[in-house]
Amino acid sequence: MNNSNSIQNFWQNFCTENPEINMDEPYEVWHFANNPETAKKLVHLVLSGKKKATASLMEHESDNGDGGIIGGYSIVTDFDKNPQCVIVTTEVRHLPFREVDAEFAFDEGEGDQTLEYWRKAHRKFFTECCLELGLKFDESMLICCKRFRKLFPTLASPIRRRHQTN
């Protein structure tokens, strides 16, 4: 769990708006992608409701809270670790890259939401991740496919209204 004040305040605001959630509930803090521009673009897709899934190489997984399990929470940040939203994981599947299906690609919300776009974009991204790890990407590598639901901010949330006026 990240202990920065902005993260803690964001979690507290989420729990205040959702009193059924215990403040001590474990959660992960992370951002999408490996660069600021893409991270911003992807979190905006979540905020708009278009992005409801994400995929990562199993070799690159670094879950250290409960966001990687069904029912686990995550605070998704921008690349600079500024909190943007709270999500809850609704599904986790581990399968080879070549077995990711069109429905999952659509739920990722990226590009034209086709499997062809997903494979092209993720083949490139996973190849870069493998290079960082000293590995060579191939389509038999296991992918962690997570579906999630955005919980906060909601349209009625004061935090959301503040973001919309910026």
At 158 the pLDDT is 53
- The secondary structure of residue 59, as a DSSP letter, is G
165: left (phi over 0), alpha (psi -120 to 50) or beta: alpha
What is the three-class DSSP state of 50? coil
Report pTM: 0.87
The C-alpha atoms of residue 140 and residue 99 are separated, in whole angstroms, by 9
Q: Which of 88, 83, 70, 66 is nearest to 31 (CA)?
A: 83
pLDDT at 68 (0 to 100)? 76
pLDDT digits (tens, 9 = 90+) for 53-64: 999 998 765 544
Segment 83-98, tens digit of pLDDT: 999 999 999 999 999 9
pLDDT class of 157 with cuts at 50, 70, 90: low
C-alpha–C-alpha distance, residues 36 and 126, integer Å: 17
| Residue positions counted in the chain | 166
Structural element, H or E, at residue 27:
strand 27-31
Supply 34's token pair: 């490996």
DSSP string, 60-83: G----SSTTSTT-EEEEE-TT--E
- Residue 95 DSSP one-character state: E
Domains and CATH numbers, the chain: 5-96+142-153 (3.10.400.10)
Query: Buried (b) or exposed (e) across 48-81, using 16+ Cβ within 10 A?
Result: eeebbbbbbbeebeebebbbbeeebbbbbbbbee
Query: In what helix (H) or strand (E) does residue 94 lie, and over which residues does it extend?
Result: strand 83-96
Give the C-alpha distances (Å, rounded to integers) separating 162 from 11, 44, 118, 155. 16, 15, 32, 11
In this prediction, residue 145 has a pLDDT band, given cuts at 50, 70 and 90, of very high
